[in-house]
Structures are given as structure tokens and as C-alpha cells.
Amino acid sequence: MRINSVWRRRILWTALLMLLVFLLAMLVWLAGRYEASQEQSRIERATSEAVSDVRADFSRNAQSLQATQFGEPTATSWFLSAYALLRERREIVRLEWRDAAFNLTADVDSPYRSPVFERGGRVISANSELIQNCNNARRYSGPSYASTYYVPLNDGMGVEIMELCMPLVDSGQLTGYLVALYSLHDVLEELLGRHLTRHQEVAFTEGDGTRLAVMGTARRASRVFSAQQLVDLPGTTLVLRMDSWRGSPDLFPNLLTALVATLVIALVSILYQLGKDTRRRLKAERDLADALAFRKAMEDSLITGLRARDLKGRITYVNPAFCQMVGFSADELVGLSVNAPYWPPEFAEEYKRRQDIRLAGNSPPREGFESVFMHRDGTRFPVLIIEAPLINAQGEQTGWMSACLDIREQRRVEEISRASQDRLQATARLAMVGEMASLLSHELNQPLAAIQSYASGSINLLRDEPENRRDIEIAMQRIAQQAERAGKVIKSVHDFVRRRDQTREVVKPQALIDAVLPLVNLQARKLSVQVCLEVAPGLPAVLCDRTMVEQVLLNLARNGMQAMDLPELRQRVLTLSVRGAGARRIEFAVSDVGMGVREDIADQLFTPFFTTKAEGMGLGLSFCRTVAEQHGGTLVHTPNSPQGTVFSFALPVA
Ligand code: ADP
């Protein structure tokens, strides 16, 4: 289709161009022809003027000749008047006065050239041309001209002569003849010479075209214009031929052709410009079509519904996605205003109000607003509408363009994510409960074990009651202390697991040691461990969560003692030391001389539930590190010398 139209256009253009070229060629040719005909008629006019000049001259000369016989002249007086005539008329080369028997009475030669018959002499035979001519003249009773003849001259040149004979009659009696000899070349020169232009040649010719006398430059050129005309004289006929030639062939023979050529150039350049313009237009059209196709493809592939409305609220455009969304075709929707079929009837009033507000020129929120549409089948669904003013190429607003997004799927995903969020929270709570239970069971082991051992000690003491009264009292107090401690541990663990802000208090380092010492000693006795204290004197108080830090010290001490629970180990010493670490921190360290930490498990020590012990829970070190970090430090372990491990952490000075 497109190729066809391209070919059609090409053929049309070619035809137009060919027509134009043909027309222009015709114009140039016609202009040339016109010019040629002008030239031809000019030369024909000149020829006929020349002919009439020649005839007028001949008849005037005949009269002048006649005049020489006026008043019965003698031979001498005739000679004088004939000579005067010859001086005046260069074209006549000789005059003769002959009697009726053709004998010469008087003769005179032109003073302008040597006598014609000087070389050959003048021979007059009985039937010579002269006699025949004069007989003719006698018959006409007037001048008669003879055919021309050539007379060679002394200087090697020659001259073409034409004779005129005039009878002399006196009271009806022939008395003689006057004969004038014309040089044809001089006739041309005298009569026509001054009218002749440089580009012309004039000649007397015979009927067959032989030139008798020529004047002008015989130049050959491509264009020669000729005209010839008969000079009818009594007794003979001459042909006067005039040639005119143009110089070298002209590209622009004359003004008309030049004008035509200019027009041609103008026309061709206009055509060229038109062609260029058409090409530009075609390209613009193609680009526009491409852009339209691109836009259409884009609109059709969009899953966002597009709806355009004019300033009166009438729908002017909907894309396929919009039609699919609401279940109505574009034809059913375009042109509708309020109460569009996709408005749920229950919201129609509200939507109408909203539309009025929009048409009053209020811009909608940039992020869009939510609304509810109704599908053809009656299903309502939520949509997100983003509206923007429609601005045309002149910058004027012509309406509104809305992008409508069906947000059913989004809503569903939100719902799912909310549900899973809830589930996650429940799981997290469960996990927290589990963590708390584990920690509680871990941390409560110690106070409960202590309570148990104090209780069984007390039972033993009760057997010999009176003496042991004091000891039983102490044991009961300890039981009460440990029970209270168990309560605190429960609260602290609860806080710890909920990651609440722990209650910080100012405590002397010694007080912390003192608080854990009874429990440490209790366990040390069981495992035959000697507990050593190294508390630097005069240490400032620290700011910490007291119960938690005590639990850390207890855990570390218990781990240390368990590490030394080796049958071959004789010297079992656990050292609790406290010293300053810089100006702002106090370092607590728990050192043992046990089996040490194997390198391959060093990385995993703090991982929750990592343990190497049969009855271990693997929560102790993870708990200790979290507490150390909550106090702005960290828990580190280094090998002790000669053996064992040192666990240490630092607390901020209060
Ligand atoms: P549990 O004591 O219940 O095993 P912990 O988290 O307190 O859990 O300790 C984890 C592991 O770290 C222990 O099983 C033990 O192998 C190692 N460990 C802890 N303290 C020491 C120590 N002082 N010397 C050697 N190993 C230790």
C-alpha cells in the first residue's frame, strides 16, 4: 500500500518533470523560430528596398543621360556634359554616343577607373549584344538593358558590365543611340553600400545562382538568412540576393529566449523547492504516524485505565484497559458526563459533587485519591484515581486526564501481609515466652539450688535443736534472701527478654562481689575450688543493672569452676578480680585454671544453645554478652597462664 503510493508519486513527479522539460524545450524552440522569422522578414524587407533603390537609380540615370542630348549638342559639348555625369555617377563606367549605324560619335570613360576596353578594345559585330540591345531599345522607344558580360581589365581583375542603350529620336526619325555601361559591382557599392551592415552580403546573381557581383564580407556561419528578388529591367532581368548571417550560435539567441530561460530556471528551482518541501512534509507525516502508532501501542499495552474528560465533564477518551476494568465499551462511555454507568448508584451523589468541585478548577491531590467503581456485572471494586489537567499545544487546559488503577489486588496483598504480620507477632511472642522460660530455668537454678542446700542443712540442724538455734536462724535468713533473689531474677529476665530499659543503679564493685560470693562459695565447696578475690582499693562506684551483673558474675564463676572439674587437677583456683580500666570504666574478670577454650569452638561460645556439657543449656555466655553490651562494653575471653581462661567485661563509672 505504502510502496504503491510511493511509486505513484514517483511516476507523477517524473511525468510532471518530463512535461515541463518538453514545454520548456518547445518554448525555446518557438522563441528561436520567432527570432529567425523576424530576421528573415527583416532581410526580405531590406532586399525589396534595395531593389527599388536600384530601379529608381537606373531610371534617374537614364533621364540624366537623356539630358546630355538637350539642345542639339556637338561632340565636344556632349563630351563635357557626359563627363560631368560620369563624375557624379560612379556606377557608370563609360558613355557612348553612336549614330544610327552604330558608329561612335563621341565616348567618355569614367574618371574613377582605367578605361574598360583599354585592354581588349571594343569590337562591334553585326549581331553583337550591343546591336541587339539597341534594336530592342528602338522597339521600346525607351531605354533597354542587355545581359551582363565580363570584361577583363589591365590590372588582372575584371568587371561585370551591363549595358544600357537608349535610342535618340528627332521628329520621329532615329538619329542615334546613347549607350551607358554600368559596373554591377559599383552599382551595389554606390546604391546599397551605405545601408549594408557588417553581417550582410549583397550580390547580383544569375538565375542559377552564379554571382555576378558581390559586396560585403563573405562569411559563413551556422545560421544564414537569404532573400532574393528580381530586378526586372526592360530587356533583361537581374536577381538581387541578400544574405545575412548570425555570428556564432547563441545559447540565448535573443531577449525572449533569455526571458524564457530565466523562467525555466525559476520554474525548475521552484519545483525543486516544492519537491523538497513535499519530502519534508512526507517525513513529518511519517514521523507523526509513527508517534501515533507508538502512542496507541503504549495506551493499549497499559494496564492502567486512562480516561479523559473535557471541561464540561464529558468523557472524551477511554483506553482499552479502562473499558476492561469497568466492562463497558468505549462507544458506550464516550460523551457521557454525570451518572456514568460505572458509578455505583449509592455513591452517585458524592461523585457528582466531586466532579463539580473538579470542574470549578480545583486541582486534585497529586498523589491521587481512592474511589469505588462498579463493573458492568455490578461488582464494586476500589480504584486509585490520579488526575492531571489536560493541556493542549497552545498551553490551554482542555480538560482532565485520569489514570485509574484497580487496587483490588493491592488490597488483597495488604490484607495478607497484615495477617502474616499478626502471625509473626504471635510467633515472636511465643518465641519470647520460650526464651524467657529457658533463661528463667537457667538463672533460677542457682538460687533454687542454694535454697535447697540451705533447707537440707536446716533440717539437719533441727535434729539437735537447742544448740543450733542460731545457725538455723541464719540458714532461714539465707533461704529468704535466695527466694527474694529468685523473684528479682524473674523480673530482670522478664525485662531483659522484653528488651526494656533496665533499671540502672549506682553500686560499689565490692558490693557486687559480696552479693554473689555466698553462692559462689557454696558451689566452690562442692567442687573443691579455692576462691580468690582481688579487688583494687578505692574503686569508684559503677552504674549498672545490679541483678543482671550479679547473674553475669555468677554464670562466669560457675563456668570457670566447671572447667576446672577435672580429676587430674589438684590446684583449683578461681579468681574474681576488679580493677580500673581507664578513667571511665571498671573491669571485672573471672579467671580459672581449667581446661581452656579449644580453638575450634572459640567462635561459637556465645551462640545461644551452644554447649559442650551433657546437662548444659548453652545460654549462659550468650546472656552474659548481651548484658555486657547493654552496659556499653563487651564480653571477651583470653587464655590464662599457665592454663585456663579469663572472661572479662567492663562497666561504666557512675
Ligand atoms: P553452658 O555452661 O550451659 O554449657 P555457657 O554458654 O555458659 O553454657 O557455656 C558454653 C560453653 O562454653 C560451655 O559448654 C563450655 O564448653 C565453654 N566454656 C564456658 N566457660 C568456659 C571456661 N571458663 N573454660 C572453658 N570452657 C568454657
HEC string of 335-356 equals CCCCCCCCCCHHHHHHHHHHHH
Q: What are phi and psi of 122, to 5 degrees?
A: -110, 115
From the CA of 182, how far away is ligand 1's center (Å)? 162
CA dist 307 and 330 (Å) reads 10
Please name the residue whose Cα sits nearest to atom 7 of ligand 1: 620
249 compared with 280, residue with greater pLDDT: 280
Q: For ligand 1, what atom is nearest to the CA of residue 618?
A: 8
Query: How many other β-carbons are positioned within 10 Å of the β-carbon of residue 555?
Result: 22
**Mean pLDDT score, 383-396:** 88
User: Strand 573-581 and strand 530-535: pairing?
Assistant: parallel
Give pLDDT, residue 222: 63
**Mean pLDDT score, 130-138:** 90
**Mean pLDDT score, 559-586:** 92
Query: Is residue 265 scored above 70 in pLDDT?
Result: yes
> Is ligand 1 within 6 A of the CB of residue 560?
yes
Q: For ligand 1, what atom is nearest to the CA of residue 595?
A: 25
From the CA of 539, how far away is ligand 1's center (Å)? 29
> Is ligand 1 within 6 A of the CB of residue 602?
no
**Is residue 367 left, alpha or beta, with left meaning phi > 0 and alpha meaning psi from -120 to 50?**
alpha
Give pLDDT, residue 24: 78
Q: For 361-386, what is each residue's pLDDT tens digit?
A: 777 777 788 899 999 998 999 999 99
Give pLDDT, residue 612: 92
- Count CA atoms closer than 13 A to 143's CA, side-chain side: 20
- Count CA atoms closer than 13 A to 275's CA, side-chain side: 13
Are 177 and 62 in contact by the 8 Å Cβ rule? The answer is no
From the CA of 576, how far away is ligand 1's center (Å)? 17
> Is ligand 1 within 6 A of the CB of residue 364?
no
Are 480 and 497 in contact by the 8 Å Cβ rule? The answer is no
Question: CB-based contacts of 82: which residues, under 8 Å, 6+ apart?
Answer: 68, 95, 97, 106, 108
pTM of the full structure: 0.42
> Is ligand 1 within 6 A of the CB of residue 559?
yes
Please name the residue whose Cα sits nearest to atom 11 of ligand 1: 611
Give pLDDT, residue 248: 47
From the CA of 501, how far away is ligand 1's center (Å)? 28
Least confident of 187-191, 196-200, 497-501, 619-623: 497-501
> Is ligand 1 within 6 A of the CB of residue 577?
no
Please name the residue whose Cα sits nearest to atom 18 of ligand 1: 559
From the CA of 622, how far away is ligand 1's center (Å)? 10
Please name the residue whose Cα sits nearest to atom 16 of ligand 1: 612
From the CA of 605, how far away is ligand 1's center (Å)? 7
**Mean pLDDT score, 147-166:** 87
Give pLDDT, residue 576: 96
Round the average pLDDT of the chain to a whole number and report it.
Answer: 86
Query: Is residue 358 scored above 60 in pLDDT?
Result: yes
Q: For ligand 1, what atom is nearest to the CA of residue 619?
A: 6
Q: Return the sign of the alpha-carbon dihedral for residues 154, 121, 231, 207.
A: negative
**Cα–Cα nearest to 190, from 56, 69, 67:** 56
Give pLDDT, residue 220: 62
CA dist 9 and 555 (Å) reads 99
Please name the residue whose Cα sits nearest to atom 12 of ligand 1: 605
**Mean pLDDT score, 500-508:** 80
* 257-279 as b/e: b if 16+ CB within 10 A: beebbeebeeeeeeeeeeeeeee
Query: Is residue 647 scored above 90 in pLDDT?
Result: yes
Q: Which residues pair with 215 in a beta bridge?
A: 202
Give pLDDT, residue 500: 61
> Is ligand 1 within 6 A of the CB of residue 592?
yes
Q: For 518-528, what is each residue's pLDDT tens digit?
A: 889 988 998 99
**Mean pLDDT score, 287-311:** 89
**Mean pLDDT score, 154-171:** 87
Give DSSP secondary structure letters for 508-562: -HHHHHHHHHHHHHHHHHHTT-EEEEEE-TTPPPEEE-HHHHHHHHHHHHHHHHH
> Is ligand 1 within 6 A of the CB of residue 410?
no
Residue of 590, 607, 611, 637 best suited for mutating to test ligand 1, as the one with most atoms within 8 Å of CB: 611
**Is residue 378 left, alpha or beta, with left meaning phi > 0 and alpha meaning psi from -120 to 50?**
left
What 3-state DSSP class applies to 588?
A: strand
The amino acid that residue 299 corresponds to is: E
Please name the residue whose Cα sits nearest to atom 13 of ligand 1: 611
Give pLDDT, residue 249: 46
Give pLDDT, residue 616: 83
Query: Is residue 400 scored above 60 in pLDDT?
Result: yes
Are 601 and 570 in contact by the 8 Å Cβ rule? The answer is no
Q: Return the sign of the alpha-carbon dihedral for residues 189, 194, 195, 200.
A: positive
Least confident of 86-100, 214-228, 281-295, 376-390: 214-228
Which long-range contacts link 20-25 to residues 24+ away (Cβ below 8 Å)?
A: 20/267, 20/268, 20/271, 24/260, 24/264, 24/267
C-alpha cell at position 538: 578505692
Residue of 523, 529, 595, 605 best suited for mutating to test ligand 1, as the one with most atoms within 8 Å of CB: 605
* Highest mean pLDDT out of 150-164, 249-263, 312-326: 312-326
58 compared with 217, residue with greater pLDDT: 58
Query: Is residue 471 scored above 90 in pLDDT?
Result: no
Are 165 and 177 in contact by the 8 Å Cβ rule? The answer is yes
Residue of 527, 551, 559, 592 best suited for mutating to test ligand 1, as the one with most atoms within 8 Å of CB: 559
> Is ligand 1 within 6 A of the CB of residue 626?
no
> Is ligand 1 within 6 A of the CB of residue 617?
yes
Q: For 52-90, what is each residue's pLDDT tens digit?
A: 988 999 999 999 998 988 888 898 999 999 999 999 999
CA dist 149 and 161 (Å) reads 5
Query: Is residue 425 scored above 80 in pLDDT?
Result: no
From the CA of 131, how far away is ligand 1's center (Å)? 175
> Is ligand 1 within 6 A of the CB of residue 611?
yes
> Is ligand 1 within 6 A of the CB of residue 594?
yes
End-to-end CA distance of the chain: 93
> Is ligand 1 within 6 A of the CB of residue 443?
no
From the CA of 429, how far away is ligand 1's center (Å)? 28
What 3-state DSSP class applies to 454?
A: helix
CA dist 635 and 651 (Å) reads 11
CA dist 363 and 45 (Å) reads 93
Percentage of the chain beyond pLDDT 70 is 95
Q: For ligand 1, what atom is nearest to the CA of residue 615?
A: 3
Query: How many other β-carbons are positioned within 10 Å of the β-carbon of residue 547?
Result: 23
**Cα–Cα nearest to 235, from 144, 165, 162, 163:** 144
Give pLDDT, residue 145: 93
Give pLDDT, residue 162: 92
Are 305 and 318 in contact by the 8 Å Cβ rule? The answer is yes
Give pLDDT, residue 356: 84
CA dist 601 and 592 (Å) reads 18
At 185, which helix (H) or strand (E)? helix 184-187
Q: How confident is the model at residue 300 (pLDDT cuts 50, 70, 90)?
A: confident
Query: Is residue 225 scored above 60 in pLDDT?
Result: yes
> Is ligand 1 within 6 A of the CB of residue 621?
yes
> Is ligand 1 within 6 A of the CB of residue 616?
yes
User: Strand 636-639 and strand 573-581: pairing?
Assistant: unpaired
> Is ligand 1 within 6 A of the CB of residue 618?
yes
Please name the residue whose Cα sits nearest to atom 26 of ligand 1: 597
C-alpha R_g of the chain: 73
Cis preceding-peptide flag for 642 (omega within 30 of 0): yes
Percentage of the chain beyond pLDDT 90 is 33
Give pLDDT, residue 502: 63
Query: Is residue 431 scored above 80 in pLDDT?
Result: no
C-alpha cell at position 597: 577454650
